[in-house]
Amino acid sequence: MIITLMVLAPLGALIISSISGGQNTQNASRQTFLGTQQLVLLGRSVLLAVMAGAGGTMAGLVVGYAVASRPANVQRRMAIGLMLPFSIPPFVQALVWIMLAQMFGLSVHGFFATVLVLAGSFWPIAALLTWIGLRQSAVNGIEAARMGESRLRAFTRIELGLIRPHLVTAFLVIALFSFSDYGVPSLFRINTYPVYVFSQFAAFYDLHSGVMASWPYLLLPLVASWIWYRKAGVRFIQSRGFGFRSCPRVFSPVFRSIWVLTYWAAILVTLGLPLTVLAIKAGHFQTYWTAWQTAKGQIGMSAMIAAASATLMALMAFPLALGIQGRFAKGSQLLNLASILPIALPGTLFGMGEIYLWNRTQTHWIYGSATVVIFLYIARFLPFALRPQVVGLAQIEEGLLDASRLSERSSFNTTWRIILPLLSASIMAGWALAFMLSLQELTGTLLVVPPGMETLAVRIYTLYHYGAGQLVAALALFLVALSGLMFAVLTIFHQWIQRR
């Protein structure tokens, strides 16, 4: 019911609206569906997504391998370092490279710049999945392969095979995110399919053309899901973690040292360099004070909306995770699929859906307030709060729950005293991910944010097009600081819970 109301209802309303638009609308939709320009843009966007997915996965493989090869007491800190670049959204990464080029009197734009920035924004996904896969791989098999094969053959034939489900997952996720991204291509002045779909609605307010042009957003997630289930699904779902122990690997210590240097280089390029460039561009302290005075309302509103959205998502995700993880629950597989597909859908599609669903006289109290923005974030990012809980439930030993049932504990008692404490880390991880994504969301927010109201991400994007470079840099640092502060608070809180 929650998935239907919050996620599928806006999308279903758009489809019904497009189908029932009359003969003229159907003719226009036919042109939008099969137009030459659209097919060219679609091919360009697919190529961009594949290249960004491949680049991000390769970078993440190297960095994740470096983390897994370190001693157990170092892995946790390095894993936290992998998550820090998520505090900088992709469109801010694009702004950083534009500002850096301007400092040297250069101009950066085009297809390959877009690929590099998208791969540089999403590589931590591949790094985290690689690290998890290496921790879960069979160490005895790797040691046996090392004795009977060369280092390179043991790596390519044994080790990469063991973590293939995680690499396939990383590639598909990064490729889908890159395909649906609007901010980076628009800033680099490259016309891609998401830019075209956004302009159909934002510039011309053409709902039918915008919806009909969005068919690849529905087709590609289905194709990606089929590939994932064929190449990775069962092995990825059934995998189990083994804690923060050091994993012996096939390469020599010299190679592992080189890969650790790659880890620090990746952190430097995607975290240290952007922060440095933004600080240099912002300049004097007075710029930060001016930025605060002119945008403190947007900063406060963004934090409150993101926190409210993340909290609601965490609450909604728990019963959904229980339903999905129930092995014999009726419709659990269908619910699982419905919870995954929205991950690949763009903010433009959800934005149009929220507008069509709530832009009515009877629901103006929703459409004319921040509520519509919260609904947008829940519809788009609920799966990100849900998946950590699903994975966390899969890690709970079935015998523990069976013992609780045999002791005649009530379902409420089992949930409150056993499941929730064991799931606390997953709940917090999902909350933090939902908060950061909501705080950084741009495309859908540009469409649905009510007049006179702005989020911090929208403020940054709008000011950039007016040439306010110093203010943009200062506000971008505020956005990063807010994400980083929330991440630090949750990390400390999680460590406090573990000590108790």
Of 240, 61, 263, give the one whose Cα is nearest residue 155. 61
Say what the pLDDT of residue 422 is: 73
Task: Give the C-alpha separation, 358 to 353, whole Å.
Answer: 9
Task: Give the C-alpha separation, 331 to 317, whole Å.
Answer: 16
Q: Indicate the DSSP class of residue 104.
A: T
The residue ranking higher by pLDDT, 347 or 52, is: 52
Q: Residue 322 corresponds to which tokens in the numbers above?
A: 């229980």
DSSP3 helix / strand / coil % (the chain, rounded to 5): 85, 0, 15
Q: How far is CA 62 from its chain centroid? A: 20
φ/ψ of 192, rounded to 5, equals: -115, 175
In this prediction the pTM is 0.84
Say what the pLDDT of residue 376 is: 92
Q: Residue 39 corresponds to which tokens in the numbers above?
A: 């097919």
Which H helix or E strand runs over 191?
Answer: none
Task: Give the C-alpha separation, 233 to 227, whole Å.
Answer: 9
In this structure, of 4-18, 97-111, 239-253, 288-302, the range with the lowest mean pLDDT score is 239-253
Q: Is the dihedral of CA 273, 487, 338, 227 positive or negative?
A: positive
Q: Residue 344 corresponds to which tokens in the numbers above?
A: 């690949």
Q: What fold characterizes domain 30-281?
A: MetI-like fold (1.10.3720)
Contacts of 243 (CB under 8 A, 6+ apart): 72, 135
Say what the pLDDT of residue 178 is: 93
The per-residue DSSP string of 155-176 comes to IIIIIHHHTHHHHHHHHHHHHH
The residue ranking higher by pLDDT, 82 or 23, is: 82
φ/ψ of 242, rounded to 5, equals: -130, 25
The per-residue DSSP string of 265-310 comes to HHHIIIIIHHHHHHHHHH-SHHHHHHHHHHHHHHHHHHHHHHHHHH
Count CB-CB contacts under 10 A for residue 309: 27
Contacts of 109 (CB under 8 A, 6+ apart): 98, 188, 189, 190
Task: Give the C-alpha separation, 347 to 379, whole Å.
Answer: 10
Say what the pLDDT of residue 154 is: 65
Task: Give the C-alpha separation, 103 to 266, whole Å.
Answer: 22
Q: pLDDT exceeding 90 applies to what percent of the chain?
A: 28
Mean pLDDT of the chain: 79
Count CB-CB contacts under 10 A for residue 342: 22
Say what the pLDDT of residue 107 is: 86
Instruction: Give the residue extent of every domain in the chain.
Output: 30-281, 283-500
Contact 68, 250 (CB under 8 A): no
The residue ranking higher by pLDDT, 263 or 213, is: 263
The residue ranking higher by pLDDT, 90 or 138, is: 90
Q: Residue 220 corresponds to which tokens in the numbers above?
A: 């590609």
- Mean pLDDT within 38-45: 88
Contact 291, 297 (CB under 8 A): no
- Mean pLDDT within 101-114: 91
Contact 132, 237 (CB under 8 A): no
Count CB-CB contacts under 10 A for residue 280: 12
Count CB-CB contacts under 10 A for residue 452: 6
Contact 487, 84 (CB under 8 A): yes
Of 247, 232, 274, give the one whose Cα is nearest residue 89. 274
pLDDT in tens, 254-303: 666 787 888 999 999 999 999 999 999 998 889 999 999 999 889 999 99
Q: Residue 99 corresponds to which tokens in the numbers above?
A: 């500002």
Q: Does the domain made of 283-500 have the CATH classification 1.10.3720.10?
A: yes
